[in-house]
A and B are shown apart, each in its own frame.
Chain A
Amino acid sequence: MMDQDACQPTPGAPCPSGENNGRREFLGAAVAAVATALTGCGKLSKEEFLQHNFRELSKEEVLTVIERLEKEYKEKFGKEVKVANTPALPGVMFGYALDLSRCIGCRRCVHACVKENNQSRDPEIQWIRVLELEKEEGVNLQHAEHYYNPDEVPREGHFYMPVQCQQCKKPPCVKVCPVGATWREKDGIVVVDYNWCIGCRYCMAACPYGARHFNWGDPQIPSKDVNPETHYLGNRPRAKGVVEKCTFCVQRTRQGKYPACLEVCPTGSRKFGNLLDKESEIRYILENKRVFKLKEELNTQPNFFYFYGV
């Protein structure tokens, strides 16, 4: 009688005792496995798993998220890491200009960027890639070499072109993101919500500048090298499986500072400012120098310009 009762859904069928328990156990294990897989090997907390897209969070929710992140970072790195969420300054549209006649390809910018923005050190992710180009060919990317490593730069007959995120007005990377984890802020910076990114890498395929980079492994940063001044949409430590990119050092520039790559450049090739400010250096360059945009024909409309200062 008891067996029959337990097998109500399929009356008449043989019902070996214990089958029901087995199914329950199996389903339970399966749900747990799926949940584990979804939440990244069980490392994610429930709060993080249930967290919404940054743009949908209320002010209070943002603060809660930041508090949780700061706690996590402190546990991971053993030191205070501050996560800011400074919004875009009103009346500001950031622009960048790089003087091709002065850059000598010394890669100081590349490594200052890694230091400032908490990129993984092993393998090292670099947001700036410096191309060595031939003077005879001009800006011909088919003649570009980015693994160059001579004893001294500049090399005879060559010039150098650092390429990083061009902060496009029409960013193809944003267009292709299937989950809306990346967007263009009011000050023109294209940012990523690392907690919302699903790691599909469509944006990397869409970006014509190779500006987006993927954390194939767990990012490795020695605790002493972690820059504790971070921004939610910028240089806060990332996790495995998310895409990251240059944000014009959003944690610095929204506080009025220059980006790290600019401050370290020994030749003064890098210029940065507010495109809406008529008195800014960047406007002077656009009005008085020979300026071009990289791959202008793609109509991505970069806010990053290359110019010849001579």
Chain B
Amino acid sequence: MTQPLRLSILPGLAACLLALAGSAVSAEEHKKPHAATVQVPKDQVQVPKPPFSEGIFPCSQCHDPKSMAPNTKRRELKDMHTDISLHHGPDTRWCLDCHDAYNRDNLHLANGKLVSFNTSYQLCGQCHGDKLRDWRVGIHGKRTGSWNGAKQYLLCVHCHNPHSPHFKSLKPMPPPARPEAIQIKNGGAK
């Protein structure tokens, strides 16, 4: 008689426990303020403003479709933006592969979908999907903030110049002193 009774109780208990555990987890999640997930849609990440050169944005202040018709012919720029040398991917790549000719203040994906400069990681992620995946979970790139709370992300372009993305070499800071360079003074090292 007791056996069937116990069997019927067990699933009930398990369900209760599961419900409890579930509520505990959701409460825990609620407490943790993740800057990455606050205020922005799920597929987006909160990032600081892109590092534009001074006075360059919005692009539409010069690229006004009324006064300047876009020239979509693939060419080397001679009049403007000559400071930009493109070292990113194949030689055939050029400005309008990423910049949008008709919405100058935006970028576009390969499928033509517009992307704002603030979410340019979506554009980068088209080719560098593995990096984007690691970046979202905080493995690729730098995080600041707190390890158990809000974290600040950076855009790809904060560290990589999009036109020449290879990370630039740096001058190393001074090496440690060699033991022979440490002088004895007043009975102790100086």
Contact = CB atoms under 8 A, between A and B. Distances in A.
B31 to A, nearest CB: 13
What size tier do the contact residues of chain B reach? Answer: 20 to 34
A265 B177 CA distance: 22
- Point out which of A256, A262, A268, A274 has the most chain B C-beta atoms below 10 A from its C-beta: A268
A257 B159 CA distance: 22
B176 A124 contact: yes
Nearest to A255: B146
B146 A106 contact: no
Nearest to B167: A267
Given A289-B139, A309-B134, A309-B140, A150 B172 contact: yes
Interface string A74-87: 00000000000000
A151 interface: yes
Contacts of A280: 147
Nearest to A279: B32
Given A216-B189, A266-B142, A284 B137 contact: yes
Contacts of A262: 143
Contacts of B190: 122-123, 217, 220
Tell me the interface secondary structure of chain B in the complex: loop
B182 A123 contact: yes
B178 interface: yes
Given A146-B175, A147-B176, A104 B167 contact: yes
Interface stretch (A10-18, A64-72, A107-115, A201-209): A107-115
A188 interface: no
A217 B146 CA distance: 36
Interface in B128-142: 134, 137-142
A22 B170 CA distance: 70
B147 A107 contact: no
A288 B140 CA distance: 13
A257 B146 contact: yes
A305 B97 CA distance: 40
A266 B170 contact: yes
A263 interface: yes
A111 B170 CA distance: 15
Ordered nearest first, which 5 A-B pairs have the shortest CB separation? A268-B142, A217-B188, A217-B189, A216-B189, A152-B169
